[in-house]
């Protein structure tokens, strides 16, 4: 008889549970990545690792110009943890501070190449910081009515014909950063490859076909790429960028170019390594770098030409399932901080003498005209969120769920359980499949500051099957969390032979003493891979809640009321990246019957902690857009990764890109509030829907299409397609 797995205390190498798993117990499960990263992971376990790499490269000749991804990810985390590198707090991040946004290794000086300050243009503001010059950005003449669209996604194709100017003379892509690309000496990004619009145009004109152009630009390198997604016929980034600002009607009847089809673009391709665990938890570092460098270049271009009315739109069609969902998550905090810093720098350029009672310069908006759109998430029906709320009096609260983990999953799986930071006597019980008796753990943390303790589940052959961490996250000191990391249930592709984690039902119960109206909330990290990458994971789910009903009596997805009082919830499935203050979050509906798309996620019914109405409004979607054509025709038509070619992109990722496109078309006045504009368009759409006869009768148990979706799902309502779209 095989001995049962046993729990034992584990050491902690990082205050980030995901980084700790990736660098140690879960290192064997990083599939599809080049083997030379194994050496780096091993090196990371050595004593004084960070002290060593901060003073000298690791010995490889290319380390002076190119940084292995583990260095970048782990170095960013260590900076954020405020350990030996010690950055300023998030609220004080400045995008021109090299101590915050450079990688933690000694690079050759010209690899980071600080931007030069050019002579002031004749019409430049007389005061304020001088604009910076970036040689990797195409030189164009901006107009006050112009829009700069920044798209951060996985594998956008900057050489696509959808991004040509209306007259076809040149690309509208001013700058592209392939974060996984081969670095070049003297470049102005700390890693990857940056391309200017001139380079893109030259490659397009010289190449006989789109694939050759991408190879010449370094966007396809089979020998080097972690995954050669440039060869894919469809990628998430190509589809999203085309939805946001592509000339989709180029093959159709002639029409005047819309605002989105005239917009200048800056695109960033996120690395496949950033999505190593399918959860997106490792993506924060690369998203932060992308926003920082793209916005620096946009501001430099705008400032150099003294065009304060040029509007900047950013679309990040990506989300995560985990996180505190209260605006304090690492990705949320950094998105808010970078956008806030852009506004501060913009004010220093265009309002150099602003202060209480100071008059604004003529023609200059009061604040930077910038907006960032994010998807609400696709997890409404995923059964990946559970919650237990306390009452009006303090007392014990317990959340009990069954975690159904499927077989043949070749990736790690994660569950996060979040508690208030002041929860008393937190404890967790875990019973693996067929284990019989549950094991209880009552972790102890230091009272002040970030802290973490861990245990691991060991198999009979001495391999780690799971790792359980309890920490007070450095980015959310008002919260505490358990993170259960599970090895794949199919370990056949692991770097070394080993036992898989047991598939089946993992029984989890978390209990703590809480104050009135506090909650315990759990989220399963997503395991679906982005379009264009190999699908290795299989999604797990929560179960054991008899009150949760998936379908209506007619067989349709149950959406409303959605929560029947059990632990598993539909409300509260909003993306973990979408509860910050700055982004404009959008959901999805179907164009055929105007009903909300069944997957479009929802915010929690009751904020925690309860806040005033403006605060609640920031943490729910702003509106919904038509990301699906019909129940049998999911997705919005867009471009594939090759010219010509098309694909339908489904999900709130498409809705987010469509929201950016709508803003590019309708946000014509830099003084206008983009959030208010979307809400106004949604109210107009709701009024039109209410006055029109239903396009199809509702199924029994389904909402009438004329009824407005609740605020938690649809914000102010549905924005109907414009007649020019």
What is the side-by-side strand order in the sheet with 439-441?
439-441, 424-431, 504-514, 395-405, 541-543
Mean pLDDT of 388-407: 93
* Token pair listed for 703: 């909402």
Rounded Cα distance between 26 and 37, Å, is 14
Nearest to 289 by CA among 315, 313, 270, 303: 270
Q: Is residue 564 part of a domain?
A: no
Residue 39 lies in a domain: no
Mean pLDDT calculated for residue range 567-596: 92
577 with 542, same domain?
A: no
| Measured distance CA(534)–CA(527) in Å, rounded | 12
CATH of the domain at 477: 2.60.120.1290
Give the SS3 label for residue 349. Answer: helix
Q: Does residue 243 lie within any of the structural domains?
A: yes
pLDDT score of 398: 96
543: in domain: yes
pLDDT score for 22? 75
What CA–CA distance (Å, rounded) separates 580 from 438?
Answer: 37
Q: Could you tell me the pLDDT band of residue 685, with boundaries at 50, 70 and 90? A: very high
**Confidence grade of residue 162 (pLDDT, cut at 50, 70, 90):** very high
Does the residue 419 lie in any domain? yes
Determine how β-strand 519-524 pairs with β-strand 413-420: antiparallel
Whether pLDDT at 239 is above 90: yes
Side-by-side strand order, sheet with 311-316:
193-196, 173-178, 264-269, 147-153, 311-316, 370-375, 584-590, 623-628, 718-719
Distance CA 360, CA 351 (A): 7
Percent of the chain residues topping a pLDDT of 90: 39
Of the CA atoms within 13 Å of residue 327, those in its CB half-sphere come to 17
At residue 719, the pLDDT reads: 96
In this structure, of 18-32, 309-323, 327-341, 382-396, the range with the lowest mean pLDDT score is 18-32
181 and 307 housed in the same domain: yes
Looking at the fold, whether 475 and 369 belong to one and the same domain comes out as no
> Could you tell me if 476 and 617 lie in one domain?
no
49 three-class SS: helix
Identify the band that residue 555 occupies on the pLDDT scale cut at 50, 70 and 90: confident
Strands 718-719, 623-628: pairing kind: parallel
Query: Is the domain of 554 the same as that of 583?
Result: no
Residue 327 located in a structural domain: yes
The structure tokens 């599939």 sit at 31
End residue of a domain, out of 559, 585, 610: 559
In this prediction, what percent of the chain has a pLDDT beyond 70? 74
470 has pLDDT over 60: yes
635 burial (CB, 10 Å; 0-12 / 13-18 / 19+) is: middle
Better pLDDT: 460 or 637: 637
Which pLDDT value is given to residue 519?
92
Strand order in the sheet with 519-524: 6-10, 451-458, 464-472, 479-486, 413-420, 519-524, 385-389
Same-domain status, 551 and 590: no
Two structure tokens written together for 396: 């014990």
Q: What is the pLDDT of residue 462?
A: 82
DSSP-derived 3-state class of residue 486: strand
Please tell me the predicted confidence (pLDDT) of residue 450.
Answer: 60
Specify whether the CB–CB gap between 77 and 103 falls below 8 A.
Answer: no
Query: Average pLDDT of the chain?
Result: 78
* 483 vs 103, more confident: 483
Say whether both 540 and 583 belong to one domain: no
Alpha-carbon dihedral 48, 334, 620, 569, rounded to 10 degrees = -10
**Pairwise CA distance, residues 586 & 661, whole Å:** 13
- 701 torsion bin: left (phi>0), alpha (psi -120 to 50), beta (else): left
> Residue 467 pLDDT > 80, yes or no?
yes
Last residue in a domain, options 529, 559, 589: 559
Q: Could you tell me the two tokens for 670?
A: 């830099």
Provide mean pLDDT across the span 449-466.
84
pLDDT at 632 over 50: yes
Task: Report the distance separating Cα 430 and Cα 484, nearest Å.
Answer: 10
Same domain, 159 and 225: yes
- Identify whether residues 315 and 435 lie together within a single domain: no
Q: Are residues 537 and 577 in the same domain?
A: no
In a domain, 504, yes or no: yes
Tell which of 535, 559, 583 closes a domain.
559
If one counts the domains in the chain, the total is 2
* Domain containing residue 537: 383-559
Q: Which pair of structure tokens corresponds to residue 62? A: 């290319």
pTM of the model: 0.86
- Strands (DSSP E) contained in 473-583 are 479-486, 504-514, 519-524, 541-543
Residue 185 has a pLDDT of: 72
pLDDT at 34: 43
Inform me whether the pLDDT recorded for 199 exceeds 60.
Answer: yes
CA distance 139 to 186: 19
Say if residue 32 is exposed, middle or buried (CB neighbours under 10 Å; 0-12, 13-18, 19+): middle
Residue 222 phi/psi, 5-degree rounding, is -60, -35
Least confident of 103-112, 561-570, 708-717: 103-112
Q: For residues 582 and 602, what is the distance between their CA atoms, to the nearest angstrom?
A: 18
Q: Where are the beta strands (DSSP E) in 172-282?
A: 173-178, 193-196, 264-269
Q: Model confidence at 495, in pLDDT bands (50, 70, 90)?
A: low
78 part of a folded domain: no
Q: If you average pLDDT over residues 530-543, what whole number do you get?
A: 79
State the Cα–Cα distance between residues 237 and 43, nearest whole angstrom. Answer: 33
The CATH number given to whatever domain includes residue 617 is 3.40.50.200
Query: What confidence score (pLDDT) does residue 313 get?
Result: 98
Task: Count Cβ atoms below 10 Å from residue 344 Cβ, excluding itself.
Answer: 12
* More confidently predicted of 611 and 370: 370
**665 and 584 part of one domain:** yes
DSSP characters for 250-305? Answer: TTSS-----HHHH-EEEEEE--GGGGTTSS-GGGHHHHHHHHHHHHHHHHHHHHHT
Both tokens of 634, joined, read 């999911």
**CA-wise closest residue to 533 among 234, 322, 316:** 234
- pLDDT tier, 615 (very low <50, low <70, confident <90, very high otherwise): very low
Residues 348 and 299 in one domain: yes
């Amino acid at each position: 008889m095989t001995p049962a797995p046993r729990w034992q205390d584990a050491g902690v190498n990082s205050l980030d549970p995901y980084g700790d798993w990736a660098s140690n117990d879960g290192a064997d499960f990083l599939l599809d990545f080049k083997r030379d990263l194994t050496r780096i992971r091993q090196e990371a376990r050595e004593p004084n690792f960070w002290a060593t790499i901060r003073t000298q490269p690791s010995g490889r000749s290319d380390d002076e110009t190119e940084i292995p991804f583990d260095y970048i990810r782990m170095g960013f985390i260590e900076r954020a943890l405020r350990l030996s590198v010690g950055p300023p707090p998030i609220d004080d991040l400045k995008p021109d501070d090299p101590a915050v946004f450079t990688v933690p290794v000694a690079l050759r000086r010209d690899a980071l190449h600080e931007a030069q300050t050019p002579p002031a243009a004749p019409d430049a503001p007389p005061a304020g910081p001088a604009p910076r010059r970036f040689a990797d950005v195409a030189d164009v003449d901006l107009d006050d009515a112009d829009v700069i669209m920044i798209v951060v996604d996985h594998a956008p194709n900057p050489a696509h014909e959808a991004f040509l100017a209306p007259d076809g003379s040149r690309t509208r892509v001013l700058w592209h950063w392939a974060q996984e690309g081969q670095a070049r000496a003297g470049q102005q990004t700390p890693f990857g490859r940056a391309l200017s619009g001139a380079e893109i145009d030259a490659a397009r004109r010289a190449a006989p076909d789109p694939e050759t152009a991408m190879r010449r630009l370094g966007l396809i390198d089979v020998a080097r790429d972690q995954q050669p997604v440039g060869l894919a016929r469809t990628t998430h980034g190509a589809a999203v960028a085309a939805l946001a600002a592509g000339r989709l009607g180029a093959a159709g009847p002639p029409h005047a170019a819309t605002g989105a089809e005239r917009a200048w673009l800056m695109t960033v391709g996120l690395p496949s390594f950033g999505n190593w665990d399918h959860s997106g938890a490792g993506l924060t570092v690369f998203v932060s770098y992308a926003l920082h460098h793209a916005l620096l270049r946009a501001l430099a271009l705008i400032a150099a030409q003294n065009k304060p009315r040029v509007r900047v739109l950013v679309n990040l069609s990506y989300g995560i399932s985990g996180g505190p969902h209260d605006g304090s998550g690492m990705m949320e905090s950094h998105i808010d901080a970078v956008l806030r810093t852009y506004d501060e720098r913009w004010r220093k350029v265009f309002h150099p003498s602003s202060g209480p009672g100071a008059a604004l310069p003529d023609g200059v908006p009061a604040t930077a005209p910038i907006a960032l759109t994010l998807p609400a998430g696709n997890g409404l029906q995923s059964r990946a969120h559970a919650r237990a709320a306390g009452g009006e009096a303090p007392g014990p609260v317990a959340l009990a769920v069954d975690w159904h983990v499927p077989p043949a999953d070749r990736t790690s799986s994660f569950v996060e359980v979040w508690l208030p930071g002041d929860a008393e006597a937190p404890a967790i019980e875990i019973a693996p499949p067929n284990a019989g008796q549950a094991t209880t753990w009552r972790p102890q943390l230091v009272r002040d500051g970030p802290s973490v303790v861990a245990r691991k589940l060991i198999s009979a052959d001495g391999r780690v099957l799971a790792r359980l961490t309890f920490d007070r996250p450095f980015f959310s000191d008002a919260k505490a969390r358990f993170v259960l990391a599970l090895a794949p249930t199919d370990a056949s592709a692991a770097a070394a032979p080993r036992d898989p984690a047991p598939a089946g039902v993992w029984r989890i119960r978390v209990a703590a003493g809480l104050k009135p109206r506090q909650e315990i909330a759990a989220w399963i990290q997503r395991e679906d891979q982005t379009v264009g990458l190999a699908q290795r994971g299989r999604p797990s789910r929560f179960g054991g809640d008899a009150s949760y009903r998936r379908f209506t009596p007619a067989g349709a997805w149950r959406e409303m009321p959605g929560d029947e009082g059990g632990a598993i919830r539909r409300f509260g499935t909003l993306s973990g990246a979408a509860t910050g203050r700055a982004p404009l979050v959008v959901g999805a509906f179907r164009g055929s019957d105007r009903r909300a798309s069944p997957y479009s996620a929802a915010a929690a019914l009751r904020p925690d902690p309860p806040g005033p109405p403006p605060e609640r409004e920031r943490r729910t979607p702003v509106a919904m857009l038509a990301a699906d054509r019909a129940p049998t025709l999911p997705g919005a038509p867009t471009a594939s990764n090759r010219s010509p070619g098309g694909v339908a992109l489904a999900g709130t990722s498409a809705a987010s890109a469509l929201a950016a496109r709508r803003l590019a078309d309708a946000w014509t006045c830099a003084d206008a509030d983009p959030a208010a504009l979307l809400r106004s368009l949604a109210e107009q759409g709701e009024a039109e829907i209410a006055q029109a006869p239903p396009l199809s009768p509702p199924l029994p148990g389904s909402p009438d299409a004329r009824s407005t979706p609740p605020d938690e799902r649809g914000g102010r309502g549905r924005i109907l397609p414009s007649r020019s779209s």
